[in-house]
Structure 1
């Protein structure tokens, strides 16, 4: 899904955006939080908390609660999303610009693409409102094969 772009820009942009958001909110963007965010953005796939723990290595002597607290901070501030079906995390491509997320998850290359479609979100909100349900979070995950992987077959 992301074959033709300079991935280093994604990481740089994610870190700059996180720095800006933390400064605006008066939050501490610690070295550990920064490093966890960089690791999440290493590729466009998802990453599990225990994989992050392994990659942090001895530099941080981090324990699972430390990684989960960093991920919780990043998630609360709109910098990462949790992909529930994979129990893993992905970087948010445009933090604080939307309430609802939709993800395309390629079964083949394992990349995850974040999508935003206001009309889909509106339709879902209308549907749940008619049911008398009050949602506090909406995530739609669609699994399949991306165009790049289909083209390669």
Structure 2
């Protein structure tokens, strides 16, 4: 994944191009998500945000999340009600494919154009117009697989 400065630079570039504002609070929420080692919930985001902005309230976080989702800077992990940074902000027709570890809760975004194309093709055949899609695959990550094997 790109680093924080690359993602922030891309976010500012896209916001300017789209005529929207990446306010300081939106940027701070985005930074927290990018720096998180795992998918992060709205309330965990609020706890981190309150360390630098004690006046922050849940609506502050939810408004920032709505903006970041609408701009395609983050993804919602529906099954965990949490959020991760998008590794390709601004990518058109982006299909988010998430690998979610059921042991440690790590979430890895990956891209397989064949899967995205197959989903789009099937939807088209059925007369369905896709606005966005997220594929969540649950299992066990490499680190947890290794740890489990050591314990056996």
* TM-score, normalised by the number of residues in structure 1: 0.86
**1:20 paired residue among 13, 26, 41:** 13
> Partner residue of 2:87?
93
Q: Give the 5 Å matches for 1:77-88.
A: 77-88=71-82
Write out the 4+ residue segments of structure 1 that deviate beyond 6 Å after TM superposition.
none
Q: Any idea what SS the aligned residue of 1:73 has?
A: helix
C-alpha separation between the residues in 1 aligned to 2:136 and 2:56? 30
What are the superposed Cα offsets for residues 17-37 of structure 1, whole Å, 9 maximum, x if unpaired?
A: 212212222322111011100
> Partner residue of 2:44?
51
Pairs aligned (count) = 146
C-alpha separation between the residues in 2 aligned to 1:44 and 1:10? 13
* TM-score, normalised by the number of residues in structure 2: 0.86
Runs (5+) with no aligned partner, structure 2? none
> Partner residue of 1:74?
68
What is the CA distance between 1:65 and its match in structure 2? 1.5
C-alpha separation between the residues in 2 aligned to 1:143 and 1:101? 14
> Partner residue of 2:35?
42
Q: 2:14 touches 2:90 (CA, 8 Å); kept in 1? A: no
Runs (5+) with no aligned partner, structure 1? 1-6
- Structure 1 range deviating more: 69-78 or 59-68: 59-68
What is the CA distance between 1:82 and its match in structure 2? 0.7
- The alignment yields a C-alpha RMSD, in angstroms, of 1.8
Q: 1:103 touches 1:115 (CA, 8 Å); kept in 2? A: yes
